């Protein structure tokens, strides 16, 4: 349903608020009490900026070589399916060569170790910092390996995990 609905709002691809708001309005009647999170990142390489918004989603992570820091970018509206006319705030970000963006689902940060501690934002940030120079093709398997090592071997993954890495050249 989301893939088909996206075709209806594609004309607004440059504006995350219009995309997410449009998707929510289209899907609201179809979801019937189901809630869904979403994240949307528009990258404008010509003007060296990115625009980000989300619907009840974990924060976007951005590693900036220029600042040598990891930023948690929060710009959230309500989950899809909560209210038909939700608004989705947008954050504009400068875009520099060697920036790395990570969009992920909560299935990455919620798994717990044997002591009951969740992988969490802190561990996620640490893995991202330690592996910032790896290409995305090596970073993603490393991130999943770190998560598997965190969990007790007998524990099965309870939630889906989606990772999207964008490296700016």
- What CATH number is associated with residue 146? 3.60.40.10
pLDDT of the residue at 51: 97
pLDDT tens track of the chain, all 169 residues?
888 899 999 999 999 999 999 999 999 887 777 889 999 999 999 999 999 999 999 999 999 876 678 999 999 999 999 999 999 999 999 999 999 999 999 999 999 999 999 999 999 999 999 999 999 999 999 999 999 999 998 888 778 899 999 999 8
pLDDT of the residue at 17: 98
pLDDT of the residue at 146: 96
Q: End-to-end distance of the chain based on CA atoms, in angstroms?
A: 33
Number of domains in the chain: 1
pLDDT of the residue at 65: 77
109 in Cβ contact with 128 (< 8 Å) = no
pLDDT of the residue at 26: 92
Q: What is the 3-state secondary structure (H, E, C) of 88-152?
A: CCCEEEECCCCCEEEEECCCCCCCECCCCCECHHHHHHHHHHHCCCCCHHHHHHHHHHHHHHHCC
Domain that includes residue 128, residue range: 2-167
């Amino acid at each position: 349903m989301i893939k088909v609905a996206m075709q209806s709002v594609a004309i607004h691809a440059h504006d995350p608020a219009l995309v997410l708001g449009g998707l929510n309005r289209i899907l609201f009647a179809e979801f019937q009490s189901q809630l869904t999170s979403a994240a949307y990142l528009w990258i404008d390489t010509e003007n060296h900026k990115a625009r980000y918004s989300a619907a009840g989603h974990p924060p976007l992570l951005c590693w900036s070589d220029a600042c040598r820091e990891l930023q948690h970018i929060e710009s959230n509206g309500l989950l899809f399916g909560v209210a038909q006319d939700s608004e989705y705030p947008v954050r504009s970000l400068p875009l520099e060569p060697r920036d790395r963006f990570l969009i992920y689902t909560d299935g990455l940060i919620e798994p717990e170790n044997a002591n009951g501690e969740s992988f969490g934002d802190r561990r996620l940030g640490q893995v991202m910092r330690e592996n910032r120079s790896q290409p995305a093709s090596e970073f993603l398997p490393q991130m999943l390996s770190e998560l598997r090592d965190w969990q007790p071997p007998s524990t099965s993954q309870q939630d889906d995990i989606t990772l999207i890495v964008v490296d700016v050249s």
